[in-house]
A = this chain, B = another copy of it.
Amino acid sequence: MELPSKLLENAVNEISQLPGIGKRTALRLVLHLLRQPVEQSEDLANALLKVRGEIKYCSGCHNISDKEICQICENPGRDKSLVCVVEDVRDVMAIENTGTYKGIYHVLGGKINPIEGIGPSQLNIVSLVEKVKSNDVKEVIFALSSTMEGDTTIFYIYKQIKDYNVKTSTIARGIAVGDELEYADEVTLGRSLQHRIPYEQSLNQL
């Protein structure tokens, strides 16, 4: 794709470095910005600079936060002995939306992924192990996606904390509420049979 302007080419190249955005989409976005008032581009650029330069992470759980301690960690009503380990802020938001979890979180900031060059040292694992060592934690819940990377990350952390006085658990895998059995994959269906629960218990969850 040969563009008639270096400025345009530069902008297209920068935008197309974002995940899921190719050169054509990048060009469409730049042409859109060129048709909008100059303020829109300025606001966008400033928002990007500000969020990258000034973003803070909660010193307790490493979640994104505007303050030193995030709202969840500073809430006295949350159970500090129950720690849910997640990948990033999106998972925290998803679990908070269920309204059923009363513990705190620990945000890893990613998953171990040798192909993308992400090792354990780039994730917030040391501080999690320290928390467990300090004996304040009764249970660690692993809420990572069950992919190769997720399972590797869980196993790596598990090995480091298993000798301490702490319970570990992973979220239940099973058929999603409302889903048809016939479309479920075999692994999920198999696990949902294996980890079946008493019917009376399921009634209480309605």
Indicate if the CB atoms of B32 and A18 lie closer than 8 Å: yes
Across-interface contacts of A27 in B (CB, < 8 A): 90
CB distance from A82 to the nearest CB of B (A): 19
Across-interface contacts of A51 in B (CB, < 8 A): 7-8, 10-11, 30, 33-34, 41
Indicate if the CB atoms of A44 and B90 lie closer than 8 Å: no
Residue A77 lies at the interface, judged by CB distance under 8 Å to chain B: no
Residue A40 lies at the interface, judged by CB distance under 8 Å to chain B: yes
Task: Output the nearest chain B residue to A41 by Cβ-Cβ distance.
Answer: B52
- Copies of this chain, count: 2
How many chain A residues have a CB neighbour from B under 8 Å?
A: 59
Residue A70 lies at the interface, judged by CB distance under 8 Å to chain B: yes
Residue A6 lies at the interface, judged by CB distance under 8 Å to chain B: yes
A47–B2 Cα distance when bound, in Å, is: 18
Indicate if the CB atoms of B48 and A11 lie closer than 8 Å: yes
Known pairs A6-B66, A92-B4; A42 contacts B33 (CB<8 A): no
Indicate if the CB atoms of A3 and B41 lie closer than 8 Å: no
Q: Mark A18-53, 1 if CB is under 8 A from B, else 0.
A: 111100010111111111001011111111111111
Across-interface contacts of A88 in B (CB, < 8 A): 31
- Specify which of B4, B14, B34, B71 is in contact with A43 (CB 8 Å cutoff): B14
A48–B10 Cα distance when bound, in Å, is: 9
Across-interface contacts of A44 in B (CB, < 8 A): 14-15, 17-18, 45, 48
Indicate if the CB atoms of A46 and B47 lie closer than 8 Å: no
Across-interface contacts of A1 in B (CB, < 8 A): 93
A-B residue pairs in contact (CB < 8 Å), sample of 5? A8-B51, A15-B44, A18-B33, A33-B51, A35-B109
Residue A63 lies at the interface, judged by CB distance under 8 Å to chain B: yes
Task: Output the nearest chain B residue to A44 by Cβ-Cβ distance.
Answer: B14
